[in-house]
A and B are shown apart, each in its own frame.
Chain A
């Protein structure tokens, strides 16, 4: 209850970005290429789920992947940190690079890759451990902290960046599963950024949250992108419009169109994009 109230107050201070004040994308020459996917094809067993998807993702910006359900946007997102590797029968072809280095190269350890490319999931999934342990887990397994105080510092910093520290600072020992939905999701974000990833993938991070908690997360994304590059999958076009600089539209496993968000929502090139944006299907 209290948490809700706090969240509500926080929202009043910082109202969600209105579509009209949509953040402008950086001019082309100032963009730094972070990840580049080229001709990615993916099969679940016999069934092909992605067809020749090519997409560039730029640093310090938010890229939104939109499209009707089952269009392959989440599948594509999971290619970026090799989370598809663990699913049986998945076959991937194509080339995905992080800072120019092929992440599917044989000498790349997916485990280390996932420390550089963090992920936040659709449903908040804190570990059934204390709040502190939730955030400390990543730094621990990667050996990021030299001492206990180091570790504490990382945890506090991550929680602060995730905008959660003030709310939980007195109960770091309590289980993370006891938090409200929005707080849990922010805890998961804190957990993801605790290992200082360069890219943060978000798979419909707000779909299980109420509007107030959603607004909180969206503000947070805006703050986070100063340090990293965010790719977000969302089923809500409004959300894409609010948070992203660039938007990619997926349909039936194809990347139909990718462009600056402003342009995409005002003047799409492809008919399918237009139909989707205007709500004719999806």
Chain B
């Protein structure tokens, strides 16, 4: 633009303008590269993030177990010999001893050596008693018989087999002794110890031992919360959107509602947690850690998202359809119920899924209402204590044991899998029902 000399004839001037042009084109290329770098940065980070989580987490889906021939010694399980067996007695029996006895036999442990016994004991998870108890409780007829069972190995053994404990570092710093390593190798060679698919990750409740901790309670809690959101937020949001888009008169109240919804969508999620704590728990006296309260808070949080999406979907239905229906004498409600809403349904569904995705991944407000809880038993209704998937991740992420890092990454993969499935459903819906008017 300032290059007026360039239009004058003359070799030197032309040269000058040539140089200038080259410079400008170089600037153009640089600029273009900035954009490419920006996209590559985002991509690289995404790959880094997924890589790191999958790299750390995939092993969580496998868990080391030992195959032992356990003798359900009546003297230990049912010392009183009562028939039928006393349930309380079964609950209290020392099942760990059964497992250890079986292990000593396999490893040829000198049971008189306290130290050796201790070292062997450490190979098994502290959760084996529950495993054996469940077997007996389900089928008391095993008492007095031998049974081959897979019992969970200890966290450190699992880490050793997964390679997260380095065999080459000195014994003192390793956390697992040479003797134990030898035993583990021996059992692995004999096929008595191996990594198996970790169903416990999906069904177990909270536990202080990584190897027995699972997402069961969190999955149920999240399910209850999603149910609450679907039952509460979706109808409310659709009704609100229909009102605002189709009925609201142009007045102060409508403006207030409108501005309000837009701002509510940008309120930090943690503030919703404070609301839940102050209103639902302190004022209405609902129990802490209850999925119902979590669901209520998440419903309020996702309300604006679904309202905004639904309004967009309603707006996309062309006015000619409304006029056509009105022209044959349909009332406004009939027009909306019979024509507009059915046509807007795919958009509403997509918005709903996006809202659910947001709710499923949300953590901060749930911390406020006491979802950070150690819950070992399945909740049977939405008022019993539970955790949620992202909260479980938070709790494991802040736990000290090494085994929990792997669990956390595994749980993150489970969460991401859910989100990806839901998002894909939304994308699919959008494509399938996309309508050009």
**Residues on A close to B: CB < 8 A?**
81, 83, 86, 88-89, 111-115, 118-121, 123, 125-128, 137-138, 141-142, 188, 191-192, 194-195
**What's the Cα separation between A195 and B343 when bound, in Å?**
24
Q: Can you report 12 residue pairs joining A to B where beta carbons are below 8 Å apart?
A: A83-B323, A89-B250, A113-B329, A114-B328, A119-B323, A120-B327, A121-B327, A125-B323, A127-B324, A141-B328, A188-B324, A191-B324
Residue from A81, A115, A126, A194 in contact with B324 in the complex, judged by beta carbons closer than 8 Å: A126
**What's the Cα separation between A120 and B330 when bound, in Å?**
14
- Given A88-B249, A89-B250, A137-B338: A121 and B329 interface contact (C-beta under 8 Å): no
- Whether B321 and A138, one on each chain, are in contact in the complex, defined by CB atoms closer than 8 angstroms, is no
Shortest 5 CB-CB contacts between residues of A and residues of B: A115-B329, A125-B320, A138-B328, A119-B327, A114-B329
Output the nearest chain A residue to B323 by Cβ-Cβ distance: A121
**Residues on B close to A: CB < 8 A?**
249-250, 318, 320-321, 323-332, 334, 338-339, 343, 435
> Which residues of chain A come closer than 8 Å to B330, judged between CB atoms?
111, 137-138, 141
Q: In the complex, which of the residues B323, B325, B328, B334 has the most CB atoms of chain A within 10 Å of its own CB atom?
A: B328
**What's the Cα separation between A125 and B318 when bound, in Å?**
9
Chain B min CB distance to A204 (Å): 13
> Which residues of chain B come closer than 8 Å to A89, judged between CB atoms?
250
Q: In the complex, which of the residues A88, A111, A123 has the most CB atoms of chain B within 10 Å of its own CB atom?
A: A111
- Whether B332 and A195, one on each chain, are in contact in the complex, defined by CB atoms closer than 8 angstroms, is no
- Given A127-B321, A128-B343: A86 and B326 interface contact (C-beta under 8 Å): yes
- Whether A127 and B326, one on each chain, are in contact in the complex, defined by CB atoms closer than 8 angstroms, is no
Chain B min CB distance to A244 (Å): 21
Residue from B323, B329, B339 in contact with A112 in the complex, judged by beta carbons closer than 8 Å: B329
Chain B min CB distance to A200 (Å): 10
Q: In the complex, which of the residues B320, B324, B338, B435 has the most CB atoms of chain A within 10 Å of its own CB atom?
A: B324
**What's the Cα separation between A195 and B329 when bound, in Å?**
9
Chain B min CB distance to A140 (Å): 9
Output the nearest chain B residue to A191 by Cβ-Cβ distance: B328
Contacts between the two chains (Cβ within 8 Å), count: 65
> Which residues of chain A come closer than 8 Å to B318, judged between CB atoms?
125
**What's the Cα separation between A119 and B332 when bound, in Å?**
16
> Which residues of chain B come closer than 8 Å to A126, judged between CB atoms?
324
Chain B min CB distance to A32 (Å): 23
> Which residues of chain B come closer than 8 Å to A83, judged between CB atoms?
323, 326-327
**What's the Cα separation between A89 and B251 when bound, in Å?**
11
- Whether A127 and B339, one on each chain, are in contact in the complex, defined by CB atoms closer than 8 angstroms, is yes
**What's the Cα separation between A118 and B435 when bound, in Å?**
28
**What's the Cα separation between A89 and B249 when bound, in Å?**
10
> Which residues of chain B come closer than 8 Å to A119, judged between CB atoms?
323, 327
Q: In the complex, which of the residues B326, B329, B339 has the most CB atoms of chain A within 10 Å of its own CB atom?
A: B329
**What's the Cα separation between A125 and B332 when bound, in Å?**
17
- Given A126-B324, A127-B321: A111 and B329 interface contact (C-beta under 8 Å): yes
- Whether B327 and A118, one on each chain, are in contact in the complex, defined by CB atoms closer than 8 angstroms, is yes
- Whether B326 and A114, one on each chain, are in contact in the complex, defined by CB atoms closer than 8 angstroms, is yes
**What's the Cα separation between A120 and B321 when bound, in Å?**
12
- Whether B329 and A86, one on each chain, are in contact in the complex, defined by CB atoms closer than 8 angstroms, is no
Output the nearest chain B residue to A82 by Cβ-Cβ distance: B326
**What's the Cα separation between A138 and B331 when bound, in Å?**
11
Residue from A115, A125, A141, A195 in contact with B321 in the complex, judged by beta carbons closer than 8 Å: A125
- Whether B326 and A142, one on each chain, are in contact in the complex, defined by CB atoms closer than 8 angstroms, is no
**What's the Cα separation between A63 and B329 when bound, in Å?**
22
Output the nearest chain B residue to A114 by Cβ-Cβ distance: B329
Output the nearest chain B residue to A83 by Cβ-Cβ distance: B326
Chain B min CB distance to A213 (Å): 18
Question: Can you name 17 extra interface pairs (CB under 8 A) apart from A115-B329, A118-B328, A141-B338?
Answer: A86-B326, A88-B250, A114-B326, A114-B327, A114-B328, A115-B328, A118-B329, A121-B320, A121-B323, A121-B324, A121-B327, A123-B320, A125-B324, A128-B343, A128-B435, A138-B329, A141-B330
**What's the Cα separation between A124 and B338 when bound, in Å?**
19
**What's the Cα separation between A128 and B334 when bound, in Å?**
16
Chain A min CB distance to B233 (Å): 28
> Which residues of chain A come closer than 8 Å to B325, judged between CB atoms?
127, 137
Chain B min CB distance to A68 (Å): 23
**What's the Cα separation between A83 and B326 when bound, in Å?**
8
**What's the Cα separation between A126 and B249 when bound, in Å?**
28
> Which residues of chain B come closer than 8 Å to A128, judged between CB atoms?
321, 343, 435
Chain A min CB distance to B229 (Å): 30
**What's the Cα separation between A192 and B328 when bound, in Å?**
6
> Which residues of chain A come closer than 8 Å to B334, judged between CB atoms?
141
> Which residues of chain B come closer than 8 Å to A121, judged between CB atoms?
320, 323-324, 327
**What's the Cα separation between A194 and B325 when bound, in Å?**
12
- Given A118-B327, A128-B343: A86 and B332 interface contact (C-beta under 8 Å): yes
Chain B min CB distance to A195 (Å): 6
Chain A min CB distance to B314 (Å): 15
**What's the Cα separation between A125 and B320 when bound, in Å?**
6
Output the nearest chain A residue to B331 by Cβ-Cβ distance: A111
Chain B min CB distance to A196 (Å): 11
**What's the Cα separation between A119 and B306 when bound, in Å?**
35
Q: In the complex, which of the residues A112, A115, A137 has the most CB atoms of chain B within 10 Å of its own CB atom?
A: A137
